[in-house]
Amino acid sequence: MNETFEGCTSLTQVTLTDGLTAIGYATFKDCENLPGITLPQTLTDLGLGSFINCTGLTEIYLPASLTFIEMCDIFTGCSNLTLISVDPANEAYATYDGALYDKSLETLYICPPGKTGISLPASLTSIAAGAFSSCAGLTGVTLPDCLTQIDYNTFYGCASLAYIDIPASVTRIGSYAFYGCASLTSVTITAVVESVEGYAFCGCGSLTDVFIYAKYTYFDEYESAFDAGVTIHCYPNSSAEQMAWQNGYTVSLMIDETMRTLTLPAGLTQIDEYAFAYLENVDVVRIPATVQSIAETAFEGSRVLIIAPSDSYAYDWALGMCFYVIAAETLQVTD
């Protein structure tokens, strides 16, 4: 039963008789005026894209007999679907707040595309790829602290999603995870994230600031995770900084309280040759506005971040010598 009713835009009612065991690929695709359907109690399989673009569908009830659902695109484009119900006797699937889960409520499979908000069960530990895909009206969701990854396409096309708090437990953000989340303006990537894959935050037209607290995160060299125009807030010498420069993003450097700092005294006027050459155990050097002369070799061989007032001689010198430099008045200090 593949593509049997595909494109039947005038179809408003269909009766499926007992004995039917499978609904195949794209069976009801583009049946935009089908308001509902009763699935037979003998049904065991729902195939790929069975109900794509059934915009008239508002709810669906899954029978106890159902044992296999090919999740990919099954309800994509069903913009008015707000409720997926499951027979309590079903041994494979369950429902919570109108969304589809495994029986133990540990894995979220599908959030109906028509929902604007959702409550997640305390038992949730994982979210399937594409679970929130095309939930265009979804404005926010609170993710569980035990979540370890945000898989590919998870929030693809969630155009109204204005804020997302990525839990500190997440170590991977998959490709296209937030693609097309046009309302996102700011994203924070925590210190434990190990990889952010290609196009993860592309198509997010309102995204201006990305805060990356991880120092050694993998970013795809050829498929950027962000669109042009974003500002990457990151630590000096981090993989995020390298990624940002390679892709032409604006870079705003941060320091944290664990970084080893050398503060030069107020009133200092000059720094002589080799004064701080080949520094060890120092990450940051603060230079006061009173300094009016710095020898070219003053910091030779020292890989340090220089902090100085933006209108100072030291700030201009550091820029000219290609040091990492942060304007003191815009300094971002993190815990």
Number of domains in the chain: 1
Can you give the pLDDT at residue 285?
Answer: 94
Q: Does 330 fall in a domain? A: yes
Question: What count of other Cβ atoms lies within 10 Å of the Cβ of residue 36?
Answer: 14
Q: Does 67 fall in a domain? A: no
Can you give the pLDDT at residue 1?
Answer: 58
Q: Does 321 fall in a domain? A: yes
Can you give the pLDDT at residue 24?
Answer: 87
Q: Does 272 fall in a domain? A: yes
Can you give the pLDDT at residue 64?
Answer: 97
- DSSP code for 281: S
Can you give the pLDDT at residue 303?
Answer: 85
Can you give the pLDDT at residue 335?
Answer: 63
Question: What count of other Cβ atoms lies within 10 Å of the Cβ of residue 267?
Answer: 8
Q: Does 107 fall in a domain? A: no
Q: Which two tokens stand for residue 56?
A: 């008239």
Q: Concatenated DSSP letters for 241-258?
A: HHHHHHHT-EEEEEEETT
Distance between CA atoms of residues 256 and 331, nearest Å: 10
Is-contact 277 300, C-beta < 8 A?
Answer: yes
Q: Does 302 fall in a domain? A: yes
Can you give the pLDDT at residue 6?
Answer: 85
Distance between CA atoms of residues 87 and 43, nearest Å: 12
Q: Does 222 fall in a domain? A: no
Can you give the pLDDT at residue 30?
Answer: 93
Is-contact 160 138, C-beta < 8 A?
Answer: yes
Encode the chain (335 residues) as per-residue pLDDT tens digits: 566 888 999 889 888 989 999 998 999 999 999 998 999 999 999 999 999 999 999 999 999 999 999 988 899 999 999 999 999 999 999 999 999 999 999 999 999 999 999 999 999 999 999 999 989 999 999 999 999 999 999 999 999 999 999 999 999 999 999 999 999 999 999 999 999 999 999 999 999 999 999 989 999 988 999 999 999 999 887 899 999 999 999 988 888 777 889 999 999 999 999 999 999 888 899 999 999 999 999 999 998 889 999 999 999 999 999 888 888 887 777 76
Q: Which two tokens stand for residue 144?
A: 């569980």
- DSSP code for 217: -
Domain that includes residue 324, residue range: 261-334
Q: Does 159 fall in a domain? A: no
Contacts 24+ apart (CB under 8 A), 97-104: 100/62, 100/69
Closest CA to 85 of 60, 114, 118: 60
Distance between CA atoms of residues 48 and 71, nearest Å: 7
- Report the DSSP beta bridge partners of residue 46: 23, 69
Distances (CA, A) of 217 to 194, 230, 239: 5, 18, 6
Can you give the pLDDT at residue 123?
Answer: 94
Closest CA to 252 of 144, 320, 166, 333: 333
Q: Concatenated DSSP letters for 85-140?
A: EE-TT-SSEEEETTEEEETTS-EEEE--TT-S-----TT--EE-TTTTTT-TT---
Closest CA to 81 of 42, 138, 119, 130: 138
- Give the phi and the psi of residue 44 in degrees, each rounded to 5: -115, -25
